[in-house]
Amino acid sequence: MHDASTDPSMDPVYGYGTLANVCCCLCSLGGAVILPCASHHKVAYNVVLSVFYGLAVGTLASDALLHLIPEAFGLHNHGEEEKANKVEGGFRVESHVRSGLIAMLGIYLFYLLEMVMTYIQSRYGYLDVNDNDIEDPTSMGTANDGASKLNISDNFDKLDESESEQGSTEPEVTVEQTQLKKTKFSPLVIMIIVGDAIHNFADGLAIAAAFSRSSIDGLSITIAIICHELPHELGDFAVLMSSGMGFTKALLANLFSSLTALVGFYIGVPLSKNDFAKEWIFAIAAGMFLYISLVDMLPTLVKKGRGNWRTIMFHNIGIFFGALIIILLSMFEEEIRF
């Protein structure tokens, strides 16, 4: 039986794929770097996170529609048929890319319609919405943090105090310390860590299948993962700390769960040698990307953008820029080589 790990042609796959996974894993450290700055630069922090939420929606949805679903259906071929799809400008526009763009346009138009309607309603007093500056994006729900809400400034103000309580050598155990000890291993904390580990494992499989096909497919899926992992990991990190974990332990827990992406990648590369297995991986990744972008993140954008044109603007900047990256990679895939 041929061993993929000893095949010289697989060296770029392992090299680029490992680098891509490391970049995705580094997003888990974003909380340690970014969240402490939130209390000092809150406006800039909120703007950046709002743009990243839009980026996540744009890259995930477009990558699923333009790359992953066509791959799963066997529509994305590199052969003679592609030459017939080239337009006068010299770049090719495959039929599935055109169909995917139309589907993306339909999703965006309905999102835009809902935002316009809610803005008009809030303008005339039908909705109880305050037209203030951008709300804290860390209060946005993710797949793991549910309805959790927290105040970043208060959380970090109390962090040193909670850690000093944990390091106390006094034999007395207060009620507050007992509750803190329990929350460290609460169902919420376990759900976040385990759920994030499974999610990252699936990301690793998707990266393996993408890089096994082409470097451009691997690049597009890596960009989509990074764009949604940064706000996702920031939310997880903040919720872990609000649940009673110290700064260091929350950081290590986030890092540990992110490393399962490497496990998924090294399992996925040999599996991707089988076309049937590769189609399954692409199909699962497409479903996951669509769920995260349209079911998890897009309703959050709608909720946070109600009555606040600044938030809507930053969300749309992210959506347009994220979708544009994936669209350009889809159109110029044959002209890009690395």
Token pair recorded at residue 82: 């592609």
Percent of the chain with pLDDT over 70: 71
pLDDT tens per residue across span 317-335? 999 999 999 988 887 766 6
Confidence of residue 200 (pLDDT cuts 50, 70, 90): very high
Helix, strand, coil content of the chain in percent (nearest 5): 75, 0, 20
| C-alpha to C-alpha distance for 211 and 270, rounded to whole angstroms | 12
The yes-or-no verdict on residue 104 having pLDDT over 90 is yes
Could you tell me which of 217, 198, 263, 219 has the C-alpha nearest to residue 72? 217
The yes-or-no verdict on residue 211 having pLDDT over 70 is yes
| Alpha-carbon torsion angle 106, 107, 109, 112, nearest 10 | 180
Q: Check residue 147 and give its pLDDT.
A: 35
Q: Check residue 7 and give its pLDDT.
A: 58
Confidence of residue 230 (pLDDT cuts 50, 70, 90): confident
Q: Check residue 319 and give its pLDDT.
A: 93
**Regarding predicted confidence, which is higher, 162 or 212?**
212
Q: Over the chain, what is the mean pLDDT? A: 76
**Regarding predicted confidence, which is higher, 38 or 245?**
245
Q: Among the listed ranges 75-79, 185-189, 262-266, 292-296, which one has the minimum average pLDDT value?
A: 75-79
Written as one string, the DSSP assignment of 119-153 is HHHHHTTSS-----S---GGGS--TTTTT----HH
Separation of CA 331 from chain center: 23
> What phi and psi, each to the nearest 5 degrees, are found at residue 86?
-80, 140
Average the pLDDT over 175-202 and give the result: 70
The yes-or-no verdict on residue 106 having pLDDT over 90 is yes
Residues 6+ apart with CB under 8 A from 93: 85, 86, 87, 331
Confidence of residue 116 (pLDDT cuts 50, 70, 90): confident
| Contacts of 17-21 spanning 24+ positions with Cβ under 8 A | 17/207, 17/208, 17/211, 17/218, 17/265, 17/269, 18/262, 18/265, 20/207, 20/211, 20/218, 20/219, 20/222, 21/204, 21/207, 21/261, 21/262, 21/265
Sign of CA dihedral 303, 308, 314, 319: positive
Residue 91 DSSP code: -
Q: Check residue 103 and give its pLDDT.
A: 92
Average the pLDDT over 278-292 and give the result: 92
pLDDT tens per residue across span 132-185? 444 444 444 443 443 333 444 444 444 444 444 444 444 444 444 444 444 445
Average the pLDDT over 75-100 and give the result: 60
**Regarding predicted confidence, which is higher, 262 or 131?**
262
Residue 227 and residue 322 in contact, taking contact as beta carbons nearer than 8 Å: yes
Q: Check residue 334 and give its pLDDT.
A: 63
Residue 122 and residue 129 in contact, taking contact as beta carbons nearer than 8 Å: yes
Q: Check residue 127 and give its pLDDT.
A: 53
Average the pLDDT over 121-141 and give the result: 52
**Regarding predicted confidence, which is higher, 302 or 205?**
205
Q: Check residue 317 and give its pLDDT.
A: 93
Confidence of residue 59 (pLDDT cuts 50, 70, 90): very high
Q: Check residue 335 and give its pLDDT.
A: 63
